[in-house]
Amino acid sequence: MHITKVTLRPVAMNKVCAIASIVIDDSFVVHDLRVVNGDKGLFVAMPSRKLPNGDFRDICHPINSEARSMIQQAVLDQFIGEGGVEAFATAAATAPAYEV
């Protein structure tokens, strides 16, 4: 499995810095991954939906740590390459609101 494309959109939603989409092997796309600036640093959260009871459940997710690491590394490399937290915070302040 290879991450062949990563695209990012700046957002201002609490600790979420950006919304990412990835393309896997030029064949499958996953939208709405979140780049989060958490207490222990940056991480990538999988797309999720809110259940009627208020809990959140991932829509899709890697099933092993190797795949999770590959996705996180590809997204964070792109995020940092595009300027990181400061650049995305500035862009989010001027961008139209993003609705999930």
* pLDDT tens digits, one per residue of 26-71: 999 999 999 999 999 999 999 999 999 999 999 999 999 999 999 9
Note the pTM of the prediction, 2 decimals: 0.86
Q: Which fold has domain 3-47+61-94?
A: Arylsulfatase, C-terminal domain (3.30.1120)
Per-domain boundaries in the chain: 3-47+61-94
β-pairing, 48-50 with 56-58? antiparallel
Token pair for residue 57? Answer: 């459940």
pLDDT reading at 92 higher than 90? no
Q: Give the HSE-up count for residue 50: Cα atoms under 13 Å, Cβ half-sphere.
A: 4
More confident residue, 94 or 18: 18
Model pLDDT, residue 91? 84
